[in-house]
Structure 1
């Protein structure tokens, strides 16, 4: 995870297919420091696994879920897969310190790239889904059924495989391993960075535009409500039973799903914009301090996967209710 100066061989690295050039990794510092370094590398993927396993358990206990929640379930599965494959990289170094297990690190990088793309794509779809739900509420309520959402999820998985598997196969030759940090794709033609830069505007644009439109709709509704309150000063709005009238469907949709969806999308933006900027810089060669080891960027990547349960607890009332119900059952 962190950048150190001791790597494989005199070239500080080794290629996946060149097994004959493997050498010993020798840690010159205290053994305790080596263990702490690798333990730090284990923490983000293990936290990702724990947080998203918790999400899936709570989603299962969530009764009468709206169909759109399936997108969040899919995102939790994707993040769980990302944590499960990326944990292999530090494990490969811990299990065999002098000669880290390359196939484990290779799977971590290659499958991790697929899982990360899947999570990014899923967040973009969640953003678009929430926008459609408030922009076209009647159309959305008619067509956003469970079978159709499952078909959309299947399409997300299919498009992800088409967009990532060819790259995983081609870029396998420039996958470089290190003794004390995560492996990296170091292609001379910057193909991996070009892939990040090309996909960035589509997904980041969908995330940003969808959320911007939701904010505009929410602001319009808030302004409309304020104007109605100013118009009706002395006469309260009540229903036939004499209780305060419930807000219209659009208002209910906005306020019940706006915050959790926007927070998840915001976490995705925070995770992926730094990676996009770094890859664009490597292609344009503008900021030289980003030309070296950028494994510290993994901290931003993992933020999206670890933050989700806290976001759901803060903003998803139904998630909180399901979690409380689970805890009550466990304490009985």
Structure 2
């Protein structure tokens, strides 16, 4: 029997001002009997911080933990807290994840805050590359997401994604198929849609793939159509193992722009994407593409290896 994806979630919180918002954002994604580990990292140099600043930051950590215990506790979840010290925040987050044997990391980056900076450049690459568990980034958004809590289980049948629509970008790699498997396993009753982006697709080929009118499709476009059809079939074969019937969609344009636009137009509740892309693509699902989608997505993004 596999362990539920969000059974034991690590929630890094950087500031007391973000604690309540982060807790409220993460709760809908927890298992009905899930556990939460809240971690706060105090950055220090090799010699350690001065006593006064250290005491002040310890007080801030206790304030964060008190808010988290109240928020998650009121929602019916067991809460553990972990205060860590170190010169590298990412190292400490990953170490906490290993120490508590978590099944996922989840947090809400606040625009301009410390965590949004951790999702840029080398930090984002390290976090997604070195983590052995999925990372769920829940944006600050006014859009309401379907509650996947115990209360919802009474009306939707459980914390399995009922009522959800999940978008999974694919590119023909094994890593992308792993993202499909992840989405189907985590949300077996959700509507899962696979997206394939064609950066150089003509209006004609896009129209022909989406049922519209096209004036003509050349041999190169026909080859691309065959390739995309094969990729969708491979994705469906993975979904079949989980008893899920996929929907498929193609979209033209730059990869990150297409993913965000498609998520908006389809009204999805979650994007699941891999950290690696096809060799040779100008923009891979790693680094700049992932970072752009995370920053711009109107819905939560789960990043998987």
**Normalization by structure 1: what TM-score?**
0.24
- The structure in which a higher percent of residues are strand is 2
- The structure in which a higher percent of residues are helix is 1
**RCO greater where, 1 or 2, for CA within 8 Å and sep 6 or more?**
1
**Normalization by structure 2: what TM-score?**
0.25
Greater Rg, structure 1 or structure 2? 1
